[in-house]
Amino acid sequence: MLLEVRNVSLSFGGVMALSEVSFSVEENTLHALIGPNGSGKTSIFNVMSGIYKPQKGHILMRGEDIGHAKPHQRAKMGLARTFQNIELFKHMSVLENLLLGRHTQLQSGVFSGLLWIGRTLREEIQHREQVERVIGLLEIERWRNHLVSTIPYGIQKRVELGRALAMDPKILLLDEPCAGMNVEETEDLARFIIDIREEWGKTVLLVEHDMNVVMDISDTVTVLDFGHKIAEGSPKDVQKDPDVIKAYLGEEVT
């Protein structure tokens, strides 16, 4: 199992955000996490990425408890995420933002970096080749040298996805990647996410409110409500679950 969440509980000032939440994500799958606003979806992402420390429970990657690791250490272990609100460096170009995603892969030291020789030069070539692959996959060639602040919102969402992908992670945590996008932009991004899983072999854990996207591209869906897991299974099974219909979907999807 690539990622496991075991009995995680998290509270803020007596308010329970997560209560004994457990689920697992298999390698090379697309796993969705859904639920109403305030159900705990972003909280569990923050626990997994090391922003929050839970009062109880464990996060494991390939059987190793990573609860002790800081966010940057988890990134080096192969965990990358995007954010609901875009967190790019807007005064930098698209290319520069993507190259920043390679920082966890840097191996050369200060001396060779200053002289720009040997290992550092080879690393730079490798990093740029990887970033070029990301640019091609996400179809953002025309924007590569534009400042992030000058490009359309939908392209910014692609760049944020690309920066996380440039890290060459074992698992991608995508926090509402389609938020604020129109239908065409959403369809494009869903297609890119499928390509990331199928062509690049990446494991994806997705938080998303667009149920058409979730039901179309997910292998497994976990449903949270008020910090509790209320259902889990295939998209077809979850959308028929009475507890899910009552708490979130509102009606059975046919």
Candidate from 3-12, 75-84, 98-107, 172-181 with smallest mean pLDDT: 98-107
pLDDT at 70: 94
Q: Is the pLDDT of residue 187 over 70?
A: yes
* Full 3-state SS string of the chain: CCEEEEEEEEEECCEEEEEEEEEEECCCCEEEEECCCCCCHHHHHHHHCCCCCCCEEEEEECCEECCCCCHHHHHHHCEEECCCCCCCCCCCEHHHHHHHCCHHHCCCCHHHHHHCCHHHHHHHHHHHHHHHHHHHHCCCHHHCCCEHHHCCHHHHHHHHHHHHHHCCCCEEEEECCCCCCCHHHHHHHHHHHHHHHHCCCCEEEEECCCHHHHHHHCCEEEEEECCEEEEEECHHHHCCCHHHHHHHHCCCCC
CA distance 184 to 155: 12
Band of residue 247 on the pLDDT scale cut at 50, 70, 90? confident
Q: Where in the chain is the domain with CATH 3.40.50.300?
A: 1-78+169-254
Q: Which residues, in sequence order, are bridge partners of residue 30?
A: 204
Q: What are the structure tokens assigned to 178, written together?
A: 């389609």
Contact 202, 196 (CB under 8 A): yes
- pLDDT per position as a tens digit, 56-71: 999 999 999 999 999 9
Candidate from 37-41, 95-99, 246-250 with smallest mean pLDDT: 246-250
- pLDDT per position as a tens digit, 35-46: 998 899 999 999
- pLDDT per position as a tens digit, 113-171: 444 455 666 777 888 889 999 999 999 999 999 999 999 999 999 999 999 999 999 99
pLDDT at 16: 93
CA distance 61 to 74: 10
What mean pLDDT value characterizes the chain?
90
Q: Is the pLDDT of residue 250 over 70?
A: no
Evaluate whether the domain defined by 1-78+169-254 bears CATH number 3.30.70.2170: no
In the block, residue with structure tokens 């840097």: 106
CA distance 77 to 46: 16
pLDDT at 249: 64
- Higher-pLDDT residue of 209, 147: 147
- pLDDT per position as a tens digit, 188-198: 999 999 999 99
Q: Is the pLDDT of residue 48 over 70?
A: yes
Phi, psi of 14 (to 5 degrees): 90, -10
Phi, psi of 93 (to 5 degrees): -75, 170
